[in-house]
Amino acid sequence: MPELRITITHKVGLHARPASLFVQTANKFPCSVKVKNLTADGQFVDAKSIIMVLTLGVMKDHEILIEADGADADSAITALKTLIEGNFGEA
């Protein structure tokens, strides 16, 4: 099962536009995608649910863990990695 540990560097964290983009990206793939906030030591939640992703309270410099399971799981992880590393499309 592919997984990814990554730090969110965007200034607002997983909130507002970055949170929307994160969830919209996860929803593009048929596999299940889960995410948890390692910095806040929380539970895994459904990465396709904007409300649940918001409840993680991921702020700037928090580290998250993403797990994907099922069809296209590798592609889902790659797409999320690209999104986060590209600072959600902002310079």
Partner 1 sequence: MPEMKLLGIPASDGIAIGPIFCYIPADLTIPVCPPGTVEAEMDRFEAARGQARTELQGLYESVHIRAGAEEAAIFEAHQVMLVDPTLEAKVREGVELGWTAEQALAKAIEELAAMLAGMGDELFAARSLDVKDVGRRLLRILLGLPDTALDAVTEPSIIVAEDLTPSDTARLDPQLTLGFITEQGGLTSHSAILARTLGLPAIVGMGDGLLEKVSSERSTVMDGRTGELIVSPKDETIARYKEVKQQRESHLKILRDAAEKDAHTANGRRVEVAANIGEVETARTAMENGAEGVGLLRTEFLYLEDTVPPNEEKQYAAYRAILEVMGQRPVIFRTLDIGGDKPPTYLPFPQEMNPFLGWRAIRISLAEPELFQTQLRAILRAALGHRGLIMFPMISDLDELRRAREVVERVKADLTRDSIPFAADVPVGIMVETPAAAVLVDVLAEASDFFSLGTNDLTQYTMAVDRGNSKVAGLFQPLHPSVLRLIKQTIDAAHSCSKWVGMCGELAGMPKAIPILLGLGLDEFSMSARAIPEAKHLIGALTDARAQQIAREVMSMSTAAEIERYMMEVLAKI
Beta-strand runs (E) in 1-91: 3-7, 32-37, 45-46, 63-69
Q: Does 81 bind partner 1 (CB under 8 A)?
A: no
Residue 29 CB neighbours (<10 A) = 21
| CB closer to partner 1, 24 vs 82 | 24
Q: Does 34 bind partner 1 (CB under 8 A)?
A: no
Q: Is 62 a catalytic residue?
A: no
| Signed CA dihedral, 24, 28, 30, 33: sign only | negative
Q: Does 35 bind partner 1 (CB under 8 A)?
A: no
C-alpha closest to that of 48 among 78, 74, 80: 80
CB of 48 to partner 1, least distance (A): 5
Catalytic machinery residues? 15
Chain positions contacting partner 1, by CB under 8 A: 11-12, 15-17, 20, 23-24, 27, 46, 48-52, 54-55, 57, 59
